[in-house]
Chain A
Amino acid sequence: MAQYETVIGLEVHVELKTNTKIFCPSGTGFGGDPNTHVCPVCLGLPGVLPVLNKKVLEYAIKVGLALNCGIAEFSKFDRKNYYYPDLPKNYQISQYDLPIAEHGHLDISVGENEKRVGITRVHMEEDAGKLVHQGNISSTPFSLVDYNRTGVPLVEIVSEPDMRTPEEARAYLEKMKAIIQYTGVSDCKMEEGSLRCDANISIRPVGSDKLGVKTEIKNMNSFKALQRALHYEIERQTEVLEEGGRIVQETRSWDEAKGITMSMRSKEQAHDYRYFPDPDLVPMVIDRQWVDSIKESLPELPDQRKARYISDYGLPEYDAAVITSTKELADYFEDCLKGYSNAKAVGNWVMGDLSRLLNAGGMDITQCRIRPAQLAEMLRLMDQGTISGKIAKAVFEDMFQTGHDPEEIVKEKGLVQISDQGEIAAVVDEVLAANPKVVDDFRAGKDKALGFLVGQVMKVTRGKANPDMVNKMLKERIK
């Protein structure tokens, strides 16, 4: 069996979070009753004309800069002609040969390996509407169309065919999402369709520098789906070649439920889009000073933030990478630091208990009920000795479930740490008297015996005894 190498390139569509659509004043909000966020322009009524929303251009430039692209000095819009009912003009205003940004890159890491993936181009275009069916799509006698999404601004980001594994593709898409979220131009919610991804994938014998015939995979609605679909496609293509067959250049759709890709249309059935410059829009001459000012306004991006966490806070590289992987999590982390300056401690909690609880609940940080100020407060209670580390874990779980303030929980449940010398001494004496054999073991050099005694004291005090004091006192008395 021949050894094959996989070649993957991604086309990512990102909805830009502008207030109004790309070429008209209609709103862009997600949801809403069908055909309520529309006007004559986005409905493509006879006689209407598009006028570019300058914010879209600014955001597209921002994306280009964040992806290390060169920004065009001269750019224009073109019409992509094809018939589909969700496209009211039966052409999409897009960019063909003079996109707003080109020749960028994005760095990913998979395991220990770091890799630079080339960005071919970033271009602006309008989104299409949505077809809606009542009942079963194959038996319903008609389709309905909702034009709310029509004209919502998009950028399409095309990568070079630089990825070699589904894992790299996933890392690329995750990194893309993080970078764009950091720039603030999009929510990048895959489940709402504000981040969408198509993949071009081919395989070739290892050592060959000629690209194999590629297929384009669509309809992957999560990171996991992307990874699964690509693994499936590698297997499928390998099998075809192993059986002496040939890969057909075609567009395939990922079926999440069945876990397979299925042919949508072949190259022969591909559209001739008949691109030509849109005569309703004037070409754009991009002012360099404006680009410079957008560049200056770019926020700190994931890689920069990660580097800062390592150098300024001393976080381990892995922790810094995880915390900066989404803007929300990194912002959460920094908000905690406003109330509690020990970044390592905050990092441990975020990486540890917080991540564990979020994962267990299938949640992300935006759904977390613990506010950063509350986590900071809890850490201060620990420092002050009001609660022990062990108690803190319980308090934290309670906070996670209820969203209540830590002080409130501590008071309500009587979890204040016992640091009173006399109170602890009484319990210690009681435990020593009840466990003479264990005391002998400790004296005989069995260090583990001390742990048992500490545990007994904690049991009696329901975990509230100050562990340092208990340790110290036990050792003193046994000597």
Chain B
Amino acid sequence: MDLFYMTAHELHAKLAAGEISARELCRAFLDRIVSVEDRLKAFITVTEEMALKQADEVDKRIAAGEELPPLAGIPIALKDNMCVEGIRTTCASKILFNFVPPYSATVVEKIKSAGMVIIGKTNMDEFAMGSSTENSGFQPTSNPWDTERVPGGSSGGSAVSVAAGETVLALGSDTGGSIRQPASLCGVVGMKPTYGAVSRYGLVAFASSLDQIGPFARDVDDCAQLLNIITGHDPLDSTSAPGEKTDYTAFLNSDIKGLKVGVPREYMGEGIDPGVRAVIEKALQVLSSLGADIEEATLPHSRYAIPVYYLIATAEASSNLARYDGVKYGLRDEEAQDIVDMYMKSRSRGFGTEVKRRIMLGTYALSAGYYDAYYLKALKARTLIKQDFDRAFDRFDVLVCPTSPGTAFRKGEKTDDPLQMYLSDITTISVNLAGIPGISVPAGFSGGLPVGMQIMGRPFAEGNLIRVAHAFEGSAGHRGKFPSLI
């Protein structure tokens, strides 16, 4: 099998046994990027120099006889909204085309000290606003299963880089489904941890109360390993959860007999592609065969999730994105006549259509006279949505549904209809509003395109999600298929 489709735990064994050096491994992935990138456009920046240097350090540790930590020497790609000191960080926005942060995100510090090799920064919808990676200010990314189709978004570049063997692991961010939906559409594992489980320090904010960093991996085992590294309290993030670190690999290889699985009826009915539904129904049979009790669940306020999300997320975004004004860094219109002119011209040129749309929506929602009717009401509805989940988790250990209502759609298919695009996150958005964890695990194929199953759990029950996903993955029988890129 090709090196570039191996899992981290397989590659770790090869590194530890001396069958391959970290530098050779890194080189192989850099070469792979060169060979497929013109068709995929998953990366905004490939950090070859830094990656080789980090790989050499790992080789030194191996040569010195040190015991190799699980993910040391393993290549990882980062969504281009995570700050890496000295490496351009753009959020796929023209307004940050030249921004080089003088500091690194907490997750970056963590993966560096774990000995991981940062291979590049991946493409995304501008400022993580979108579900197809077509909103990138630089380039659209293609789905490796069908390059005429989108990879999903906003973390499309990260999903593709893992799916197409350009890296072993990747990090994305998920505000309304931006990890899980592209993971589903690209046939990889993707998890949004509980809000507060992973530090947001150094993640360029889209919607602060919803954003969460999480892993992309080829399998659940790798996902657990990477989760081990990135989770944990961070004093630099006030919303970071205190408490002891969990070893998520302890949840691998455990059975799910007697597990109570709820299937929200709101996520299996109207609007779900029949092919996708068929795959999920089959997946539920697998869970059942493993001893889980499957029952219908209900999340009655689900229909409010999308409007609530598009009020809260845009309101926060309108404020978070105010700092891009041409004064301190990033794009500045040099022709401007005065400060207000400079603000307007820099922002008009720097931001794309979707970002402008959301800034305007959010500004409106927070405006005097509208705040109570929109933002405040949305906060109240958010509480109701969260209570739906609390009630469901009184009865069920996990909830299961399709990660996305459909498979990867064609490029351009939804770009003229923002509402249609927004609906592609209908099954993922509530998870962010409730702050709970969700994982998308490959469940099969429909029309030759991957379908993901979303498993949702109680706050900080990532371990339980790993347990269910791993058990399912081992029995689903659809593994070993890779996109047919030459």
Contacts and interface: CB of A to CB of B under 8 A. Distances in A.
B275 to A, nearest CB: 38
Contacts of A452: none
A90 B99 contact: no
A46 interface: yes
Contacts of B343: 83
Nearest to B101: A45
Given A47-B101, A276-B315, A281 B366 contact: no
Given A40-B103, A46-B83, A81 B238 contact: no
B321 to A, nearest CB: 9
B367 interface: yes
B367 A272 contact: yes
Nearest to B342: A85
Contacts of B324: 46
A46 B101 contact: yes
Interface stretch (B182-190, B204-212, B290-298): B204-212
Interface string B314-346: 011011001111011100000000011001000
Given A46-B323, A90-B323, A280 B101 contact: no
Interface stretch (A49-57, A154-162, A464-472): A49-57
B82 interface: yes
A274 B366 contact: yes
Given A85-B339, A274-B367, A279-B316, A45 B102 contact: yes
Given A40-B103, A46-B204, A90-B322, A279 B327 contact: no
A88 interface: yes
A83 B102 contact: no
Nearest to B202: A47
A137 to B, nearest CB: 13
B209 to A, nearest CB: 4
A276 B319 CA distance: 9
Contacts of B201: 47-49
Given A272-B367, A274-B363, A49 B319 contact: no
18 contacts: A44-B323, A44-B328, A45-B83, A46-B204, A46-B205, A47-B83, A47-B89, A47-B201, A79-B319, A81-B319, A83-B325, A83-B343, A90-B322, A91-B319, A276-B371, A279-B239, A280-B205, A280-B208
A274 B200 CA distance: 24
A274 B363 CA distance: 8
Interface of A: 40, 43-52, 79, 81, 83, 85, 88-91, 143, 145, 272, 274-276, 279-282
Contacts of B239: 49, 279-280, 282
Nearest to B316: A279
Given A48-B103, A91-B322, A274-B368, 7 more contacts: A45-B83, A46-B323, A47-B81, A47-B89, A49-B200, A51-B236, A280-B205
Contacts of A48: 103, 201-202
B91 interface: yes
B355 to A, nearest CB: 14
A128 to B, nearest CB: 13
Given A46-B101, A47-B105, A47-B201, A88 B328 contact: yes
Contacts of A280: 205, 208, 238-239
A282 B328 contact: no
A47 B325 CA distance: 15
A40 B101 contact: yes
Given A279-B208, A280-B238, A43 B328 contact: yes
Interface in B87-144: 89, 91, 96, 99, 101-103, 105
B235 interface: yes
B102 A279 contact: no
Contacts of B159: none
Given A45-B103, A46-B96, A279 B325 contact: no
Contact of A281 (B83, B96, B238, B339): B238
B204 A49 contact: no
Given A89-B322, A90-B323, A272 B208 contact: no
Contacts of A88: 323, 327-328
Contacts of A46: 83, 89, 91, 96, 99, 101, 204-205, 323-324
B237 interface: yes
Contact of A49 (B101, B238, B329, B366): B238
A145 B326 CA distance: 13
B323 A49 contact: no
B383 to A, nearest CB: 14
B203 interface: yes
A279 B435 CA distance: 13
B351 interface: no
Contact of A276 (B82, B103, B200, B375): B375
Contacts of B322: 81, 83, 89-91
A40 B89 CA distance: 14
A59 to B, nearest CB: 19
Contacts of A47: 81-83, 89, 101, 105, 201-205
Q: Chain B at the A interface: mostly helix, strand, loop or mixed?
A: loop
A90 B326 CA distance: 12
Contacts of B367: 272, 274
A398 B175 CA distance: 73
Interface residues of B, number: 45
Contacts of B101: 40, 45-47
Contacts of B328: 43-44, 88
Contacts of A44: 323, 328
A25 to B, nearest CB: 10
Contacts of B315: 276
Interface in B352-381: 363, 366-368, 371, 375
Contacts of B208: 279-280
A333 to B, nearest CB: 45
A88 B96 CA distance: 15
Nearest to A46: B204
Nearest to B82: A47
Contact of A272 (B89, B103, B207, B368): B368
A83 B99 CA distance: 21
B105 A276 contact: no
Contacts of B91: 46
A197 B12 CA distance: 64
Contacts of A81: 318-319, 322, 366
B327 A145 contact: yes
B249 to A, nearest CB: 29
Contacts of A91: 319, 322
B183 to A, nearest CB: 23
B327 A85 contact: yes
A381 B476 CA distance: 100
A46 B325 CA distance: 12
A281 B316 CA distance: 13
A49 B237 CA distance: 6
Nearest to B324: A46
B366 A276 contact: yes
A39 to B, nearest CB: 8
B102 A40 contact: yes
Nearest to B91: A46
A143 B339 CA distance: 9
A88 B327 CA distance: 8
Contact of A282 (B238, B319, B368): B238
A248 to B, nearest CB: 20
A49 B236 CA distance: 7
Contacts of B340: 83
A239 B316 CA distance: 47
A84 B344 CA distance: 13
A281 B89 CA distance: 24
Interface in B181-237: 200-205, 207-209, 235-237
A48 B366 CA distance: 23
Contacts of B205: 46-47, 280
Most chain A beta-carbon contacts within 10 A, residue among B235, B343, B366: B366
Nearest to A50: B238
Contacts of A90: 322-323, 325
Nearest to B199: A49
